[in-house]
Amino acid sequence: MRVSGVLRVLALTFATVTTWIVIRNYMGFSTKTIRLPRWLGSSTKETQVMKHKCGLIKPCPANHFAFKIGSGAANVVGPTMCFENHMIMSPVKNNVGRGLNIALVNGTTGAVLSQRAFDMYSGDVKHLVKFLKEIPEGALVLVASYDDPGTKMNDEARELFTNLGSSYAKHLGFRDSWVFVGAKDLRDKSPFEQFLKNNPNTNKYEGWPELLEMEGCVPPKPF
């Protein structure tokens, strides 16, 4: 009886310790895991609901273009850009990079004109300025940040983004999160923009703010 009792105590102790370790490891993992954009990490049930272009829950009106943009998550997961159900840029396509990821789309036909990634931490901002100056008339401009979009930004680049309709380009700094859709020579500010400042007191990840996700429907002519 004494041996049996000791074995019961040992079994109970082992089960308790094992359970505690599993819970502790799970909690530690869940708090450190970086959240993927919901449209990349959707469950089967969610995927069944999202049947429209770029995974939008509701379809766009006639003669409007569907889009969805996700900024990068810290320096771990790159940004994503979908336009009219075509994934223009993503980590899977291996065509994204640290800094600013930009795609140009024909504002009338929706055809993709070009896409580029500009390193804004150790790259040369002159390449970005040249690219922005050569944007053709009527082109839509899709922008998504990754890791650090602001270290190399200068006044000229900020002004060019402002002319595309940005309200936050003048404030873009080290490790900020930013997604934006604009067009050349807009008369008003773009309604499609989100911005999140890098702030140690509010950052979602250690050293970086939360990733941003934006979706919508763009009219065929610059808004």
Query: pLDDT > 70: what percent of the chain?
Result: 77
> Structurally, how many domains does the chain consist of?
2
Q: Is residue 38 part of a domain?
A: no
pLDDT digits (tens, 9 = 90+) for 52-83: 999 999 999 999 999 999 999 999 999 999 99
**Are both 27 and 79 inside the same structural domain?**
no
pLDDT digits (tens, 9 = 90+) for 32-41: 345 555 544 4
Query: How many Å apart are CA 81 and CA 70, to the nearest integer?
Result: 7
**Are both 61 and 152 inside the same structural domain?**
yes
CA-to-CA separations, 15 to 9, 29, 134, 177, in angstroms, rounded: 10, 21, 66, 45
Residue 5 is part of which domain span? 1-33
Mean pLDDT of the chain: 84
Could you tell me which residues come within 8 angstroms of residue 95 by beta carbon, excluding any fewer than 6 positions away?
89, 115, 117
Give the phi and the psi of residue 182 in degrees, each rounded to 5: -135, -170
